[in-house]
Amino acid sequence: MGGGVGGGPGGDPYDGQVKTSSRPRPSAVAPTAVLTAVLAAALALTSCTTPTGPDGNGEGTTPAPGSGTDGTGGTGGASEPEPSALELALDGPSADLEENAADAVAGMDTAEKAGQVLVGQLGAAGTDPASIEELNLGGIIVMGDAVPVAADGTHDVEALQTRLAETQEALSAGRDWAGIISVDQEGGLVARVKEPLVEWPTPMSYGAAAAGQNVDTAAHLATNGHALMGAQLAELGFTLDFAPSVDVTIGAGDPAIGARSFSSDPETVSVLGTAATAGLLHAGVLPAPKHFPGHGSVTDDSHVTAPVQDASVADLEARDWLPFRELLGGDQYTPMVMMGHVIVPELEPDVPSSVSAPAYEALRGLAAPDSAADGASGGAADDAAEDAADGAVAGTRSDAEPYDGVVVTDALNMGALVERYGANEAPVRALEAGADLLLMPSDLPGARDALVEAVEAGEVPAERLDEAAERVVTMLMWRDHLAQELAEATDEEKERAGVGNTNGTENGTENGTGNGTGAEPEQVSRELSAAAITVVDGVCGAPLVEDSLQITGGNEIDRARLAEAAEAAGLTVGAGPVVALVGSARGAGQGDVVVALDAPFGLPRSSVPDGGAKVALYGRTPGAFEALVAVLTGKAEAPGGLPVEVGDWPAGTGC
């Protein structure tokens, strides 16, 4: 059951860890105007060559308030070595860097500041290079339809890399920092860039590994997996990944998150969310834990409508908000958090959180113990913000201040907002409420103009726009600095900072796709599936097939991948026990063995004979099907456990 996962054939994979520290606040030098090396520095984390990208040499970053790096609890004593530049960078932006960012924003006019807080969808109006420069755009997000497709049907990563480099050149024009090149890349169904990048199973795989083995093993995998995934993204030119989802799922009643969630246990989600966030940072990629105030416990999908969260703030504090509290109030610096569109009546009735000032106050107050719950539970959001700086609960920092990092909205073109506000009103309301970064407005140029008009008319205080722009620029300067320090750090310095090796094995990888002779990302993806697979109902450890099997259900790719894995194990495909693949989260199947490929919520309605089995796989990658065949043939036991209650099976069910 027990120790760390990560070793195996082909070399040692990324061996990072979640770093905590308490060091003096770093002092930064001013960022240089040289904009051609930071992306290359970040991409040097991987083993292959990278395109030329922008460079910002801005040092420092904001340490998590009260982490010790703000001068309240630094390491001292002659027995401890001075922190390395990498350790200081990981602690967050310095006061000097924040001053540099403020100076940069002070040199912008209102329209330039408004553009700086906007992230547009690549391919939409306003995201061509000329428009990006004219708008002074903060960044872009790549959705699936913007990823070029090669002749063989796989994603053309070379063409994508070229386009992202051109986009970054426009974003960085006239700046001392690189812009946002972002993507939704969580693993499982939410992966915008696919093969030849390494495929990852669902995030719920980590929770299954935690439930069946231990959370430390799963956390190690989460850091490794997200670091390796981030390194491949960085190589293509991405600087931000809207991940991980730290929503706590309620199970089958959760229509939007499901297997995107690590678990239904808030403590497990907290540990794994922190580990995943660290992994992305170790690759020089900005993470964005999401979706506050929690999307896993509502029964509507905000892509369609605005879900209403009827739980009390006290209940939310104990469940949905715990992972965010751990991220914002812990020692690990978290540069950004995503605000969702969920309505919390106790905070503000009938107003989605993304445009609700009390919701932003509650989120920022989580960095300081005894804040949001005590203040907001009485219905007074102002009290919540006030209390944020006051008391502390046992085991947490007593000197914490409200979170001062970037809060980004969920996509502003989603049904939850579109049905309530016009295309240009939603960005204005979100900025006024407390958002710093406005993601995917329906009309990007219109949103910029609406922000300018609102500020000039006094509807939104100019200071609010200044604050948002300064936070965004601080974060981007810090990311440049962190990427540079990661690229320049020695192996010893990385080890001291808790950062593992994302360079692949000594043989390297080929084109960063994980298809080389030492493809660690593929290896860790396989290890994750092998650690997660769960026999929910059936005999553990006994062969479920002998020398052949029949495959039903799933889609064509699912069936082909299982057939390939079975044949590689010496099985004949086309006769014998029926293995039914269930390809949807709540779908059901019938066979000798029923396998839920993503979320396992349909297994209670599935049917198997006596001696059959119901299996949760949590993914449909090649490695997931290899793990399935090993369990079907009895060559491996299924070590995972259910990370959420499924039907009458409690969380933790498994072998």
Write phi, then psi, for 458 (nearest 5 degrees): 80, 10
Shortest CA distance to 594 belongs to which of 549, 547, 639, 556? 549
Burial 623-635 (b: 16+ CB within 10 A, else e): bbbbbbbbbbbee
Task: Show the DSSP H helices in 145-265 as ranges.
Answer: 157-172, 204-212, 215-236
Rg of the chain on CA atoms, in Å? 24
131, with CB counted inside 10 A (0-12, 13-18, 19+), is: middle
Give CA–CA dist 8/613, Å, rounded: 29
3-state class (DSSP) for residue 85: helix
Shortest CA distance to 90 belongs to which of 527, 493, 513, 409? 493
Give CA–CA dist 515/505, Å, rounded: 12
Q: Give me the residue label for tokens 């049905």.
A: 419
Helix (H) or strand (E) holding 593: strand 593-596
Strand partners, 118: 438
3-state class (DSSP) for residue 606: coil
DSSP state of 83: P
For the record, the structure tokens of 106 come out as: 């002070």
Catalytic residue, candidates 216, 370, 399, 466: 370
For the record, the structure tokens of 573 come out as: 């495909």
Residue 303 a catalytic site member: yes
How far is residue 133 from each of residues 161, 179, 306, 470, measured CA to CA in Å? 20, 11, 34, 19
Strand partners, 142: 183
For the record, the structure tokens of 187 come out as: 């693993």
Residue 449 a catalytic site member: no
Sign of the CA dihedral 570, 574, 576, 579?
positive
Strand segments, DSSP code E, in 195-352 are 240-241, 286-287, 336-339
**Residue 152 CB partners (closer than 8 Å, separation 6+):** none
- Count H helices, E strands: the chain? 22, 15
Give CA–CA dist 105/94, Å, rounded: 17
**Residue 161 CB partners (closer than 8 Å, separation 6+):** 51, 235, 236, 237
Catalytic residue, candidates 12, 216, 303, 399: 303
CB atoms within 10 A of CB 33: 11
For the record, the structure tokens of 39 come out as: 């992306």
DSSP state of 243: -
> So which residues are the catalytic ones?
303, 370
